[in-house]
Structure 1
Amino acid sequence: MYRPLGTFPLLLLAAWPFHHIAAQDKAGRQKDTLSRKHLGEVVVSASRRPVTLDNVPSSVTVVTKKMLENDMAVTTDVTDILAREVPGMAPGAQTNSNVGQGLRGRSVLIMIDGIPQSSPLRNGEVDLRSIDPAVLERVEVLKGATAIYGNGATGGLINYITASPKGDKPISGRTSVNMTGGLVGLKNSVGGRFSQMLQGRAGKWEYMASGVYEQTGEYKDAKGKLVGPNYSLGETETWNGFAKVGYHINSRQKLQLMYNYFRSQQNSNYTLVNGDISKGIAATGILGKMSGVPTGSKGNHNVHLVYQADSLVGGTSLAADAYYESRDDIFYVSFGRFEGGDGQSHTLDKKKGLRLMLNSPLLNSGSFTGNLSYGADLLNDITSQPLVDGRIWVPEMNMLNVAPFAETQFALWNDLILKAGIRVEKVGVKVKDYTTLRLTNTDGSTITPAIDVKGGKLDYTATLFNAGIRYNRNPLFMPYFSFSQGFSVSDVGLALRDSKVNDIKKINTEAVLVNNYELGFVNEYKGLRFELSGFISTSKLGADMIFDPATGLFNVSRTPERIYGFEAALSYAATKNLDLSASYSYLEGKADTAKTGGSYNVYLNGRRIAPPKVTGAVTYRPVKDLEVRLQYLGVQGRDRFAKNSKGVYNGNEGAVKAYNLFNLNASYKLNPKTMFTLGIENLFNEDYFPARSQWFMQPGFYAKGRGASFNLGIAVTY
C-alpha cells in the first residue's frame, strides 16, 4: 500500500544499510491509537541516527519492499516505479536516461546505501538506473534542498537501501523467473528475466548474495510499431551482482561489507529514424546496426565498508564508513558535431569517501529528551567526459570535498519535535590545461572554435543551515515546518566543455545555493492517513538549460529562480481486504532573467518543471492468497511557451498534452513457498507520447510510450 511519509531537511544525516535498533528515539510515542502506534514503529534510516517517522518535520516518501515487489510484477524500470510512487517526482520516459526527471524542479542526488551515484561535476542524468530493484529493501526519497551527503541535492535525494540477511537459517533463498513481452506486436518483443538470491546466518556471521539477468525484447507502441531506439529500454541486456557480509563483533559492535555491480546496455538491431514533431510522427527505427558502441551503463561498481559501535562512554554511539564507486556511462553518437568527425561520449566517474559520525545524548529527563550528532565527511570525486575514441570533450575534474557538521534534536513533552543543524562545505576542484573541441554544423562549418583553456583550481565554501519543528499532540492534525539549504557546484563540466574564454577563472562556474521552505501537516484517523505539504525553493543563481536556435546547442542560464508547489497524498485501509491510495503534485517555477531581485518574469522550461501529476491505486485481496492491484498515473498538460518563427517550440519548451495510464498486477500464492505473478503495463493500450518526448523537442527523442505489455513470473522461496 502506498504510504507517503513526508521531506527530510536534515543536513547532517547519512544512511546506513543495516537497522540500528538500539538507538531509536526514546521520546517513544506511547499512544493508544492504532495509526500513531504504526507510525511510531517505522524507522527512517536515511539518517545516521534512525528516527521514527513522527519525529520528521518535513516530507519523505518511502517506497517499501512490498511496494517494490508489486511494481516489479509489472516493470523493473526503477525510473517508472519512482515516478508512480513518489509525489513531486517528474514522470519518466521508459529510457535509460533520466533527463528532466528531477524532484521539485531541481537536481536529485542518487545514492546506494549513502554512496553517491550522481556527480554534480558532470551530470549525465543517467544515475537513476544504478542498481536493480530486486536487491533493494526500500527506497527513501527526501524532497527539497538538502546537504545530507554534500553538494548536488538541490531538489532532494533518493537513497536506494539494499537488502540485509533475514532469518536464522544457515542458508535460504529465492529464485524467480519472468517472461515479458508486448501484447500488441508480439513478434520479437518477448524477453526474460532470472533472479537468484541466497542468504544465511552462522554464529556471528551473516551473508546475502544475489544475481540478476534480464534481456528485454523490442519495445512496441500502442499500434505495434517499434519505439524509437534512442536510449530505449527495448533490446537491453542488464546484469546485477550483489553481495553483503556482516560480522557481529559483540552485542554493541558490527562490521559490514557490501558490493554491487550493475550493467545495463542496449544492443539494438535498429537504427534511428527521426520523428517529425510538427506532424506528430513518432521516432522509430529500421533494421540496421546502430552506430558506435552500445549505450547505457557499461559498469557501475560500489564497495561499502561500515563499522558501528553503540553505548560507548556516556552513551555515545559511533558510525564510520568508507566507500568506493566507479561508473562508465555511454551516450549516443552525435553526428557531424565535432571536429574530426562524429563523436560518442561517455562519463567516467570515480569516488572515494570516508564518513565519521558520533551521537551523544544531551538530556533524558522524562518528558524532555535530546541528542547531538556531529562528525565530518570526506569525498574525492574524479569525473570526466571524453569521447569513446579518446578525444577530450570535458577534461578531468578532481574534486575534494570536506564537510564538518553538527546537529541537535529535542523532544519536549514527548510531542514537540525540534531540530537544527549546521554543515560547512569546503570544495576544491582541480582542472589541468585543456583544449575545447571545435563544434561544427552538419555541413562542417564552425559553430564554436577550439580554444586553449588554462586550468587551475576552483574553490567553493558554503555554510548551510537547517531547522525544523513538528507538533504531534493530536493525530488529527500534526503540523510541521522546515527550512533547509542545499548546495551544488552546478555541472562544472558543462561550463568547461562550452568555454568561450581561455582561463577557467573567467568561466561562470559559481555554485548554486538553494533555500527551501516547507509547511505541511499529517492527519491520521483509524485506517486513514492524509498529508499535505507546500514549499517554496529559491536561489540567487540558477542552472537552467536554455536552447539556442542559432547554434542548435543548449546553454546554461545563471539567473535567479523561484520554484513553488504543493503535494497531497492519501492512503486508506478501507477494510482488511481493501486498500486505497492517491496523490496529486503541482509544481511551477520562474526565473528573474533581468536579475532585478524580485521580478520572476520567465517560466522555467519542461526540463525543470514537470506537469501536474495524479496517481492512484486500489489493492484488493478477495481471498487469503490472492492480491490484485490497479494503479493509475495521470500526467496533466503544461503549455507555457510560444512557438518560434519556424512554427515549432524551442528545445525543452514543448507543450505537454495530458495522458492517462493504468497498470494491473496480481499475485497468487500457490503454497507458502511458491508465488505466481501477472502484470499488465498500460492496461488500456493508451497511444501517447511521454512528457519528455513532448517538451524535449528533439526529433530523435520524439518517441511514443510503450503499448500494452505483459510480465508473467514465478518465484520460489526456500
Structure 2
Amino acid sequence: MHLPSHLRIALLVLSGAGFSASAMAQQTTRQQDTLQEKPVSPRALGEVIVTAGRKPVTLDNVPSSVTVITGKALENNMKITTDITEILSREVPGLAPGSQTNSNVGQGLRGRQVLIMIDGIPQSSPLRNGEVDMRSIDPAVLEKVDVLKGATAIYGNGATGGLINYNTATPKEDRVIGGRTMINMTGSLTSLKNSVGGRVGQMLQGRYKKFDYIVSGVAEQTGEYKDAKGNLVGPNYSLGETDTYNAFAKIGYQINRRQRLQLMYNYFQSQQRSNYTLVNGDITKGIPATGVLGTPAGVPTGSRGNHNLHLVYQADSLIGGTSLTADAYYEKRDDIFYVSAGRFEGGDGQSHTLDKKKGVRLMFNSPLSNRAAFNGTLSYGADVMNDITSQPLVDGRIWVPEMNMFNYAPFAETQWSLWKDLILKAGVRVERVSVRVDDYTTLRLTNANGSTQSPSIFVKGGDLDYTATLFNAGIRYNRLPLFMPYFSFSQGFSVADIGLVLRDAKVNDIKKINTEAVLVNNYELGFVSETGKLRFELSGFISTSRLGVDMIFDPQTELFNVTRTPERIYGFEAALHYQVLSNLSLGASYSFLEGKADTSRTGGSYNVYLNGRRIAPPKVTGSISYRPVKDLEIGLQYLGVNGRNRFEKNAKGVYSGNEGKVKAYNLVNLNASYKVTPRTLLTLGIENLFNEDYFPARSQWFMQPGFYAKGKGTAFNVGVAVTY
C-alpha cells in the first residue's frame, strides 16, 4: 500500500536510520542496560570511536564520511530482523537497498565494490566476488559496525567503494560469569500458515584474574516468507525457510598493563531448506515469482560454512612511546548458489565459491609530536595475505579455476592535529599482487534448446602480477561547530573479479584476457554542522576509474558479459540528528547516486548510464525514538526507495537484464521494548507496518523471472531477553 502524502512527508522529516554517526550514534553499552541509557547530545556523536582505520580515532577527527552503527542501533534493528543486509541498508547512506535474500548482489557502496571485514579479516574475495559476503556473521555478536565510504587504501585490495568492518563483542562483565538468554518468535501477519519461525541465543561472558572471555551461540529457523497479499514469496535465494547457526568465542589474556593477547573464533552457517520449487514470475505482466510444493533441485543454497580465526597481540609504550599491533588470521568459506537449469553442457549446473585466506598484519604507531599545538602520529607496517579462490560446480566440474593470490602491501599514514582544530591526514600504500592460475578449460554454455552460446576453450594459465601505489589525503577544520568542513582524496585498488573474466574467456591464453586491475580515484567534500541539539552533515563525492567492471546483458545470447570501460560516479548524502527532548530524538538521511561509462573510450565522453546493478535509486531513511516512561522505548523506522528509469526497452519490448525500471516504494517498521523486571526485557518488532505491496529494487532492475519476487508483507518478531 502507498502511504498518505502527509504521513510520507512527516516520516521524511523524521529520523535517523542512517546518520553518518549512525542511528543516533550512542556509545556502546551493555545490552541489559539499554533502557537506562541517557540521551546522547549532538556533540557526543562526534566522540564515537571509529576503528575501521589503521588506528582508533574519534569521528570528529576523520576527514571523510563515516557511518558508525552502534550496539544500541544494532539491538533496535534486531527487534525487527536479524538480516544484516537489511540493517545496513537502513543505517548507511550510500549503500544500496537490500533484497531480503541471502545474496547482496547489487548492494554496493557508492556504486562500487565494498570490502566486508570481521575485526579486520577480509570476508570478500576480489578474485571472484560472489556477492554473498555481507551475511558472514550473526549481528547478535557484534559490538558495532564501522563503514568507511569511498575508495580507500586503508586495507587495500577490494575496497573501491569503501569498507564495512564488523566489530565483534568484547566482555563487559567484571564478574567471573554473567550472561544473557534470548528467545524470539517470528512470522507473517498476512498469512500465519507455515510462516512461524524461532530463534534462540545464549551469551556468557566474564573475567577471572588476567583472563576475560565471551562465548555465544545462536540458532534461528525462519518460516515461509509471505508478501502483502499472503502469498509465498519466490523461494529463489529467499531467507524464508532458512536455518542459521552462529558460534562465537573470544578469549583475552592481559599479560601485563602494557601487553595483551586475544584469540577470536566465529562460525557462521545459513542455508535455505525450502519445501518449494520455483515458479518463475512474468515481468511483463507484473506477476511475481512464487513456488509450488516439491523438492528443489540441487543442494541447499546459502553459506555452507564460514570460519574465522583471529589471533591478536598488542603492546603499548614501547621505545619512544610506540605501540604495536600484530595479528594473524585464517578464513575459510563455502557459499552455494542456485541451480542454473540447462545452462551448462550436459544440462543443469550448480556452482559454489570456495575461498580460503591466511594473513598476517603488523602495525606500529609512533608519536611524532605531543605538543598541544602540534600533535602528530605515524602509523606504519605491512599486510601479507594468501587468498585461494575458485568456483567449481558442486558435481566437480570446473567453472572458475583455482586462483592463488599472494598480496604484500606495506603502508604508512600520518595524522596531525594543529592548534587542536585543524586535522591533517595523509598516507601511502603499495600493493604488490601475484595471482597464479593453472591451465584450464572453460565450460561450454548452452541455451534452453541445447545450442552452444559460449564454446569450451582451452586456456593456457600463468601468473598475473600487479603493482599499484595508492595515496590518500584529507583535511578537516573543527574551529566553528556551526561549520566544520572537510575534504579528502583517496585511491582504491581491486584485481577486478578475475574469476568472472576467466570463466567467460574467449581466447586461449590468460595473457590475452583483459584482467587489468581497477584503480579508483575518489574525491569528497563535505561539512558537519552542530547547533544546540541539532547535528547535520552533507557530503558530495566523485569517483573515477580508467577501467571498470560492469555486467552487461546480451539479449541475443541471454548471457551477461563483462565490459571494461572508463567510469565516473558521483553523488551526495545528507543526514541530520535532532534531540528534541531528553526522551525524544529525530533524524533523517538522503542519498543520491549517478554513474556513467565512457564506452567510446575517448577519455571524456561518459555517454552510457551504469545499470541498476551498480547504481542504486535515491534512498531516504528516517526514524524516531521515544521513551514515554523509564522502562518503555518505542521506535519507528522509515525506508523510502525512489524510482530510477535510465534505459530504453530492447527489441523484445522489455528492459534488458540489470536495466529494469525501478518503481518507488515506502516501508515503515516499528520496534518496542519494555523492561518488566530489572533483568527481563520484552521486545516487539513489526516489519512493513502498513503492509506495502511492492517489489524490492533488485527484483525490478535485475529483470530475471526467477528473481522477480515481491518483498515481505507485514511480519512480527516478539522476544524475551533475560540477563543474569
Secondary structure of 1:616's counterpart equals strand
> What amino acid is aligned across from residue 258 of structure 1 in structure 2?
M
> What amino acid is aligned across from residue 75 of structure 1 in structure 2?
T
Equivalent residues in 2 for 1:569-718 (5 A)? 569-718=575-724
2:274 matched to which residue of 1? 268
Secondary structure of 2:700's counterpart equals helix
Distance 1:40 1:316 in 2: 26
Structure 2 vs 1, CA of residues 49 and 322 (structure 1 numbering), >3 Å: closer, same or farther?
same
Offset at residue 41 of structure 1 (A): 3.6
**2:502 is the counterpart of 1:487:** no
> What amino acid is aligned across from residue 4 of structure 1 in structure 2?
F
> What amino acid is aligned across from residue 270 of structure 2 in structure 1?
S
1:503 matched to which residue of 2? 509
**2:558 is the counterpart of 1:552:** yes
2:288 matched to which residue of 1? 282
Of 343, 347, 359 in structure 1, the residue corresponding to residue 349 of structure 2 is 343
Contact 1:48 1:319 in 2 (8 A): no
Secondary structure of 1:5's counterpart equals coil
1:46 matched to which residue of 2? 52
Offset at residue 3 of structure 1 (A): 6.7
Q: Deviations over 1:80-138 (max 9, x none)?
A: 01001110100011000000000000001000000000000000000000000000001
Of 66, 70, 77 in structure 1, the residue corresponding to residue 72 of structure 2 is 66
Equivalent residues in 2 for 1:289-308 (5 A)? 289-308=295-314
2:327 matched to which residue of 1? 321
Give the count of matched residue pairs. 694
Q: Deviations over 1:553-593 (max 9, x none)?
A: 11111000000000000111100110101100000000000
What TM-score results when the alignment is normalised by the length of structure 1?
0.96
**2:455 is the counterpart of 1:440:** no
Offset at residue 53 of structure 1 (A): 1.2
Distance 1:72 1:571 in 2: 21
Offset at residue 526 of structure 1 (A): 2.2
Distance 2:681 2:498 in 1: 49
Distance 1:341 1:328 in 2: 23
Q: Deviations over 1:184-206 (max 9, x none)?
A: 11000000000000000000000
**2:37 is the counterpart of 1:5:** no
**2:533 is the counterpart of 1:527:** yes
Offset at residue 2 of structure 1 (A): 4.8
Distance 2:495 2:195 in 1: 42
**2:365 is the counterpart of 1:359:** yes
Distance 2:678 2:120 in 1: 34
Offset at residue 44 of structure 1 (A): 1.1
> What amino acid is aligned across from residue 242 of structure 1 in structure 2?
F
Structure 2 vs 1, CA of residues 77 and 40 (structure 1 numbering), >3 Å: closer, same or farther?
closer
Secondary structure of 1:305's counterpart equals strand
2:11 matched to which residue of 1? none
Contact 1:386 1:395 in 2 (8 A): yes
1:330 matched to which residue of 2? 336
**2:225 is the counterpart of 1:210:** no
Contact 1:219 1:706 in 2 (8 A): yes
Q: Deviations over 1:285-332 (max 9, x none)?
A: 000000000000000000000000000010000000000000000000
Distance 1:653 1:5 in 2: 30
**2:390 is the counterpart of 1:375:** no
Distance 2:188 2:367 in 1: 57
Structure 2 vs 1, CA of residues 6 and 428 (structure 1 numbering), >3 Å: closer, same or farther?
farther
Contact 1:367 1:414 in 2 (8 A): yes
Equivalent residues in 2 for 1:112-511 (5 A)? 112-511=118-517
Offset at residue 364 of structure 1 (A): 1.6
> What amino acid is aligned across from residue 518 of structure 1 in structure 2?
E
Distance 1:490 1:258 in 2: 30
Q: Deviations over 1:44-73 (max 9, x none)?
A: 111232111111000000111010110000
Secondary structure of 1:68's counterpart equals helix
Contact 1:3 1:62 in 2 (8 A): no
Offset at residue 371 of structure 1 (A): 1.0
> What amino acid is aligned across from residue 186 of structure 1 in structure 2?
L
Q: Deviations over 1:332-360 (max 9, x none)?
A: 00111111221100000000000001011
My pick for the range that moved more, 108-117 or 363-372, is 363-372
Distance 2:17 2:178 in 1: 29
Secondary structure of 1:98's counterpart equals coil
Distance 2:663 2:17 in 1: 27
Distance 1:146 1:555 in 2: 27
Distance 1:398 1:529 in 2: 47
Offset at residue 37 of structure 1 (A): 5.4
Secondary structure of 1:297's counterpart equals strand
**2:103 is the counterpart of 1:97:** yes
Contact 2:42 2:577 in 1 (8 A): no
Secondary structure of 1:99's counterpart equals coil
Distance 2:18 2:112 in 1: 23
Offset at residue 362 of structure 1 (A): 0.8
Secondary structure of 1:475's counterpart equals coil
> What amino acid is aligned across from residue 601 of structure 1 in structure 2?
N
Distance 2:190 2:153 in 1: 46
Distance 1:187 1:582 in 2: 36
Secondary structure of 1:531's counterpart equals strand
**Gapped runs of 5+ residues in structure 1?**
8-17, 20-33
Offset at residue 4 of structure 1 (A): 2.6
> What amino acid is aligned across from residue 424 of structure 2 in structure 1?
L
Structure 2 vs 1, CA of residues 237 and 714 (structure 1 numbering), >3 Å: closer, same or farther?
same
Contact 1:206 1:247 in 2 (8 A): yes
Contact 1:3 1:571 in 2 (8 A): no
2:5 matched to which residue of 1? none
Identity over aligned pairs, percent? 79
Structure 2 vs 1, CA of residues 82 and 550 (structure 1 numbering), >3 Å: closer, same or farther?
same
Distance 2:178 2:432 in 1: 46
> What amino acid is aligned across from residue 91 of structure 1 in structure 2?
P
2:6 matched to which residue of 1? none
Structure 2 vs 1, CA of residues 455 and 312 (structure 1 numbering), >3 Å: closer, same or farther?
same
Structure 2 vs 1, CA of residues 3 and 686 (structure 1 numbering), >3 Å: closer, same or farther?
closer
Offset at residue 6 of structure 1 (A): 6.1
Structure 2 vs 1, CA of residues 502 and 181 (structure 1 numbering), >3 Å: closer, same or farther?
same
Offset at residue 535 of structure 1 (A): 0.2
Distance 2:41 2:283 in 1: 50
Distance 1:96 1:310 in 2: 41
Offset at residue 407 of structure 1 (A): 1.0
Offset at residue 35 of structure 1 (A): 5.1
Secondary structure of 1:54's counterpart equals helix
Secondary structure of 1:158's counterpart equals strand
Contact 1:240 1:261 in 2 (8 A): yes
2:32 matched to which residue of 1? none
**Gapped runs of 5+ residues in structure 2?**
1-15, 23-27, 30-39
RMSD (Å) for aligned C-alpha atoms: 1.3
Contact 1:357 1:376 in 2 (8 A): yes
Offset at residue 596 of structure 1 (A): 0.6
2:115 matched to which residue of 1? 109
1:27 matched to which residue of 2? none
> What amino acid is aligned across from residue 656 of structure 2 in structure 1?
N
**2:96 is the counterpart of 1:81:** no
